[in-house]
Amino acid sequence: MTAKDVIWTIVIGVFVAVYVTWRLHGMVEAERAACPFPHPAPTTEERTPAMWLFCKSGFFSAVAHLDKPGAILLRARFRGDLERLCAAHGLDPATIAETPEADYRFRMELPRADWARVAAEEAAAIDYPNFKAAVHDGTPRDAAYLGAWCALRAGQDRAH
């Protein structure tokens, strides 16, 4: 391979990387625009370490508590998800707060160590070969899980 070939390979590689990044950004922005709910992109200052957990107990968004460094703010769309989690892991359901004005209507605070234990116990309790079948119950939560699965599948198909 000549020096000229190497340079053209690098130029083409950079072009492809820029193009792919541009296309992916466009897809994300299109998805953001298509969502009927307000969800502005967080600023750098607003970003906190976060995770989503889909499990038989429910769907949870766990984020670092902004005011309490040793705590996790565990958020859910359905009160029943947090109630199931509390029942399964010996947590106090009286600590569940309802915040109708917030993105996630239900939330509770947990020490980081408790959240790590709960997440590990949920992982250890996996006893199903198919997650969708394990959580299928005909409720609005079931429909929401299927909607999330469909949206993520569509994203996968567009990306590949």
User: Residues 20, 77: one domain?
Assistant: no
Residue range of the domain that includes 29? 1-41
Is the model's pLDDT at 24 over the cut of 70?
no
> Is the per-residue pLDDT at 138 higher than 70?
yes
Between these two residues, 1 and 100, which has the higher pLDDT value?
100
Q: What was the pLDDT predicted at 34?
A: 60
- For residue 30, the number of C-alpha atoms closer than 13 Å in the C-beta half-sphere is 10
- Count of domains for the chain: 2
Confidence of residue 149 (pLDDT cuts 50, 70, 90): confident
Q: Are residues 55 and 23 part of one domain?
A: no
Q: Classify residue 76: in a domain, yes or no.
A: yes
Residues 3 and 26 grouped into a single domain: yes
CA–CA separation, 83 and 145 (whole Å): 18
Q: Do residue 51 and residue 121 come from a single domain? A: yes
Q: Indicate whether 120 and 51 sit together in one domain.
A: yes
Q: What is the pLDDT of residues 39-87, one digit of tens each?
A: 555 555 555 556 889 999 999 999 999 899 899 999 999 999 999 999 9
